[in-house]
Chains A and B, each alone.
Chain A
């Protein structure tokens, strides 16, 4: 890897299928010990990027490098249907030279030990997903890649999975998480990469992406209020929200200054509150679509 802190990285990674560019010069870095959220709408190129990172498919150009100590769940779990969950993991453990005790550890970790002897083909979607995560956890890999790990899980299972990812990060493991649940990503990821139409639009910390705390101001008359706001926050620091209020990129402790300036300009102040944009709002702005994302 490039540095001691980098566990996975891509450099101008590109994949072309016929005349369709699935992944377009994506450069991203996953650092040791972080939970990295990989976001993008359906067909944005997330899974293709992850597959190239894991060496499952070859890039058309560019490069992808990941730690050799890796566990992954990519686009659904693939196991032998005639074997039990436990036996499937034992087969994987044999391939990797791991002891059977490792199988028991990861089954416990995903709360599947009691159903470990059931055949895989009889598992519910959620159980299959948990077995896939268990496979990724075997051997305590340095990097864990989870592509939509909460697919098929009920709310309790999703909460468990969220807790598991947080727990993994606390234990020093690096998690690269692709998820369509933006609230979940906002809650547990340190940094995110947003991909759309094959291109990485942004890579930053969640806080940076959300733009920090801003002030929401509702005041009339609006032209005068806007002029005051722009004087305080700068031309680029003000934007009008859909409900007509103004969002000022200023820290919350500047609220008294804003109120004073507005009053001095004879503007009626109806509301000044600290506002924080959600990751979902930022995401929709960046990808310019309101449909559900994957």
Chain B
């Protein structure tokens, strides 16, 4: 019993150390900032800028067809921030997090840094869990910064349009954070798993993006013709992430936000995404523990 307790303590200590170490190197890595910068830029462009330009010009854009100016303005108000914050996550938010996860895990093989680490007596499981934990903290940080930025832009628009400030309810903020975390974390960890599987970032990023952006959409199309494919798509990560967000923000007809769907109910979608999160971590640990590191 005391051996188990001592091993658990040692693993926890190792994980904490590795989390600090990974955060130290990730925050100095330009690739992390470029990826997060791209997400924030895309999020603001599609969440506010295009809608605002359409609103001010009175010329509906591709994402605002069929909406009135009043509806466009309402979409940019602070109480709508949780929805705007979430809607880009199933598609490009997820894709960018997958790229980040693949880079974090995969580059360690190309650069030989996993080899350096493991040959200095650092145990594999705490090192890997530390890396996953640091990626998780980056996901949480991304959510906080994204929400803060969305809220700031929204308040700016509210002030410039002389509207009353109505803040979102705590419940809707919590719900958006929870769903956003599950979606981004799932894609980041699937990217991490792919990077581990491929022992490098290039192949894993390529395969991951093709899957997330192309294959799942094609399968959903084929699923309308073949029943068994439709059943299959219901358990795929993209469908689950899109359905989770769709259950909160609404799908908005056939021309809704790309990636946001209503294929499965929200609670089932959340469960499916959570299962992917757990499976991705366990599979990564199992792989790293068993494999030869050269």
Contact = CB atoms under 8 A, between A and B. Distances in A.
B137 interface: no
A97 B24 contact: no
Contacts of A82: 28-30
B21 A95 contact: yes
Contacts of A229: none
A80 B113 contact: yes
B122 A95 contact: yes
Contacts of B121: 68-71, 96, 141
B29 A95 contact: no
A51 interface: yes
A232 B24 CA distance: 71
B294 A81 contact: no
A83 B292 contact: no
Interface in A65-123: 68-74, 76-83, 87, 90-97
A97 B120 CA distance: 12
A57 interface: yes
A79 B118 contact: no
Interface residues of B, number: 29
A57 B124 CA distance: 12
B115 A56 contact: yes
Contacts of A55: 118
Given A78-B112, A82-B29, A95 B294 contact: no
Contacts of B18: 94-95
B9 interface: no
A161 to B, nearest CB: 18
A104 to B, nearest CB: 17
Given A87-B28, A91-B25, A94-B17, A81 B111 contact: yes
A78 B294 contact: no
B196 to A, nearest CB: 16
A97 B9 CA distance: 14
A138 interface: yes
Given A57-B293, A57-B294, A77-B112, A91 B24 contact: yes
Contacts of A95: 17-18, 21, 117, 120, 122, 127, 130
Given A82-B30, A94-B20, A54 B25 contact: no
Contacts of B112: 76-79
A97 B17 contact: yes
A136 interface: yes
Given A56-B115, A56-B292, A77-B112, A83 B122 contact: no
A56 B113 contact: no
Contacts of A141: 121
A136 B130 CA distance: 21
Given A54-B118, A54-B119, A77-B116, A94 B294 contact: no
A210 interface: no
Contacts of A58: 290, 292
Contacts of A93: 21
A57 B17 contact: no
Contact of A92 (B13, B29, B117): B117
A127 to B, nearest CB: 16
B29 A80 contact: yes
- What 9 A-B pairs have minimum CB-CB distances, sorted nearest first? A78-B112, A94-B21, A57-B292, A72-B119, A95-B21, A78-B116, A56-B293, A91-B25, A54-B119
Interface of A: 51, 54-58, 68-74, 76-83, 87, 90-97, 132, 135-136, 138, 141, 145
